[in-house]
Amino acid sequence: MAFGKEWWAALGVLVISSGGAPAQSAGYPKPTELSNPYRLVEGWPSLPPSLNGGHWGEVIRVHVDDKNNVWVFHRCFNVVPAGSATCVGRGAANPPILEFNAAGKLLKSFGAGLFAYPHGFTLDGDGNLWATDVNDQETILGMPARNAQGRLMGQEVLKLSQQGKVLLTLGKEGIGGDGADGFDRPTSVAVAANGDIFVADGHDPNRHGAARVVKFSKDGRFVKEWGRKGSAPGEFDEPHDIFVGGSRGWVYVADRKNNRIQVFDQDGRFQAAWKQFGQPSSVFVGRDDTIYVGASFPDPAAKKGELRGITIGNAIDGSLKAFIPDPADLDQVIRGTSASGIAADADGSVYAADVGAHNLRKYVKIR
């Protein structure tokens, strides 16, 4: 594969703050030089024909709970508008939240009428679900983006029980902002082991220019925020995904338009900026400090000029271990990786939510 020398030279720059991760210099391998010790599990999961004829639409996020059940957040089996499919008008037959067991059997589904434009999704240590809605439009495809109570959906983070009951709301439903009590298209949400909540705010395009991380206490009280639009350490340009985890409990942000993963402690102190993982759309860190990044890399020889897949490495020092190339027909994907959501289970299996290729993938390690 042909990668520009200038671009690969840029990967040699690893920004480190004092007390952060060990510094590394140039010499990161290209994705095509990394091994792929995984195989795709064909036909997983079993999506019932009663749900959209058994066909996925845009799948945006996936996570695994402590029982090894797999939770999926998707755009109500819809594919339009492409890349930002809507749940508006999809009805109860197209619920946006699905739970599968490890074998891929559907266990439950719910959430119809709660979201207009599903985006971020995670589970906390108590098994509660957290989801974000980045809608900031009054109408979508000519339909009002309002729920059954007539309220405009979007610009909020919802905490839900595993039965679909709304337990807590962050932000103001349908009202954008960039202060302590409002969001400007919140892309993702993560919850620390102590219950503190971290929201990545600022999906592009947005009206207030937000590009930040907002921290809340377990009960939803605003604690602090950090970041602004820019490319310096601690600044963001479309923070597209966020995850809190690993042995150090660090905060990992997929700073998509800056082509880097940024790493912070839970007080917002900058630790590192890693460009070697590619242009990230999703990030997940396992308990064993393995980091998984849904990413794309410039490659003139590839379709649409990008190599896409899941880059796997070490969440402490940023070293690279493996690369799983996207198996989908990349003509279906407008830009960036199709893996807009990513997770791994206790066995090391990897799950990818395909927003562009309209699928949910599971990979297992080759023994």
- The answer, as to whether pTM is greater than 0.85, is yes
CA distance 352 to 311: 12
Token pair for 179: 């202060």
pLDDT of 276-290, one tens digit each?
A: 999 999 999 999 999
Name the range with the highest mean pLDDT among 15-19, 22-26, 218-222: 218-222
Q: Which residue has the higher pLDDT, 326 or 212?
A: 212
What domain count does the chain have? 1
pLDDT of 285-319, one tens digit each?
A: 999 999 999 999 988 887 778 899 999 999 999 99
Phi, psi of 111 (to 5 degrees): 105, 0
* Amino acid letter, residue 81: P
Instruction: Please give the mean pLDDT across all residues of the chain.
Output: 91
Predicted confidence (pLDDT) at residue 342 exceeds the cutoff of 80: yes
- CATH number for the domain including 252? 2.120.10.30
Question: Do 307 and 323 form a contact (C-beta atoms < 8 A)?
Answer: no
Domain with 277, as residue range(s), is 5-365
CB environment 285-312: b (16+ within 10 A), e (fewer): bbeebbbbbbbbbbbeebeeebbbbbbb
Q: Please tell me the predicted confidence (pLDDT) of residue 11.
A: 42
Q: Please tell me the predicted confidence (pLDDT) of residue 38.
A: 97
pLDDT of 163-203, one tens digit each?
A: 999 999 999 999 999 999 999 999 999 999 999 999 999 99
CA distance 320 to 311: 7
